[in-house]
C-alpha cells in the first residue's frame, strides 16, 4: 500500500510577497505602510506605520503626482507611473512603480500593493533604438525628395532596380534587418522579402554581402 503523498507546505500571503524580487510595500487608505520589502534598506520593516509619502518623498502630504497609489485608491484600478532621476553619483536612472488594489471581504479596496522596478536598461535601449530609427527616417525622407533619375546616389549606368528596390537595397547594405526595413519604409516584412528576392535575381547575387558590394560600387551607400 503506497504511502499518502505529502502535501505542499501552505504559504501565507506575506511569505509569497516576501519571495518577490522587487521592492514592494502595502499601504492602507491613509497611506500608512503596513508591510514593506525594500532591498536597499538595511531594516525594511522600520518604515511600517509611517506614511509612505514621508518615507519615500520627504513630504507631509500625499504626493500629487508620480505615484500610482493615489489614483488607484480613487478608481480601484491598477495604475503605473515612471520616474526619471539622477543618483548622487550622477548616474541616470528610471524606475517604474505599479499599484494594485487589495480588497477586503466585502469587495472594497482596503489596501494598495505598490511594486517598484528598475527599468533603466530598458529605457536606455529604447532611447538608442528610437534615435537610430529617427536617423534612418530622416535619411529616407531626404532620399525620397528626389525622383529616381535625380537621386544623389544615382548608380553608374542603367540600374535594373525600381525606386523601391533601390531603397530596400540601400537600407540592406547599411545592415538593417528585414523587420527594421519594413518599419522604416512603412511596408510589411513579406513585401521586404519579395523586394530582396527581386534584387538578388536582378543583380545576379546570392546574399546580402554581394548586394552590399554592388550598392557600394555604384554609390548607393
What is the distance of C-alpha 128 from the center of its chain?
11
CA distance 191 to 188: 5
Indicate whether 4 belongs to any domain.
Answer: no
CATH number of domain containing 150: 1.10.10.10
Give 43-86 pLDDT, tens digit per residue: 556 788 999 888 878 889 888 877 899 999 999 999 999 888 88
* Partner residues linked to 153 by β-bridges: none
Q: Is the pLDDT of residue 166 over 70?
A: yes
User: For residue 112, which of 28, 36, 23 has the smallest C-alpha distance?
Assistant: 28
Name residues whose C-beta falls within 8 Å of residue 187's C-beta, 6 or more positions apart in sequence.
Answer: none
pLDDT score recorded for residue 196:
92
CATH number of domain containing 74: 3.30.450.20
Domain range for 175 is: 124-217
Q: Which of 69, 88, 118 is the last residue of a domain?
A: 118
Residues 79, 167: one domain?
no
Q: Which of 94, 118, 142 is the last residue of a domain?
A: 118
* Partner residues linked to 19 by β-bridges: none
Q: Provide the number of structural domains found in the chain.
A: 2
Name residues whose C-beta falls within 8 Å of residue 51's C-beta, 6 or more positions apart in sequence.
Answer: 30, 31, 32, 33, 62
Residues 102, 139: one domain?
no
Residues 87, 56: one domain?
yes
CA distance 193 to 179: 10
Indicate whether 5 belongs to any domain.
Answer: no
Give 186-199 pLDDT, tens digit per residue: 889 999 999 999 99
Indicate whether 107 belongs to any domain.
Answer: yes
CA distances from 169 to 19, 164, 207 (A): 51, 9, 12
Indicate whether 24 belongs to any domain.
Answer: yes
CA distance 129 to 106: 47
Indicate whether 28 belongs to any domain.
Answer: yes
Amino acid at each position: 500500500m503506497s504511502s499518502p503523498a505529502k502535501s505542499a507546505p501552505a504559504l501565507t500571503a506575506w511569505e509569497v510577497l516576501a519571495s518577490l524580487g522587487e521592492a514592494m510595500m502595502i499601504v492602507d487608505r491613509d497611506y500608512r505602510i503596513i508591510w514593506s520589502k525594500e532591498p536597499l534598506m538595511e531594516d525594511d520593516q522600520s518604515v511600517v506605520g509611517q506614511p509612505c509619502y514621508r518615507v519615500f518623498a520627504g513630504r507631509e502630504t500625499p504626493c500629487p503626482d508620480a505615484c500610482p497609489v493615489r489614483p488607484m485608491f480613487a478608481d480601484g484600478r491598477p495604475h503605473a507611473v515612471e520616474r526619471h532621476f539622477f543618483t548622487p553619483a550622477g548616474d541616470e536612472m528610471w524606475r517604474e512603480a505599479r499599484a494594485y488594489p487589495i480588497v477586503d471581504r466585502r469587495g472594497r479596496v482596503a489596501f494598495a500593493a505598490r511594486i517598484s522596478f528598475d527599468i533603466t536598461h530598458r529605457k536606455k535601449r529604447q532611447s538608442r533604438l528610437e534615435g537610430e530609427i529617427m536617423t534612418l527616417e530622416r535619411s529616407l525622407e531626404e532620399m525620397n525628395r528626389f525622383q529616381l533619375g535625380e537621386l544623389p546616389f544615382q548608380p553608374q549606368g542603367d540600374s535594373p532596380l525600381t525606386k523601391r528596390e533601390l531603397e530596400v537595397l540601400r537600407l540592406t547594405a547599411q545592415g538593417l534587418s528585414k523587420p527594421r526595413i519594413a518599419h522604416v519604409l512603412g511596408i510589411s516584412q513579406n513585401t521586404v522579402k519579395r523586394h530582396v528576392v527581386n534584387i538578388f535575381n536582378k543583380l545576379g547575387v546570392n546574399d546580402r554581402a554581394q548586394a552590399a558590394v554592388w550598392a557600394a560600387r555604384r554609390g548607393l551607400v
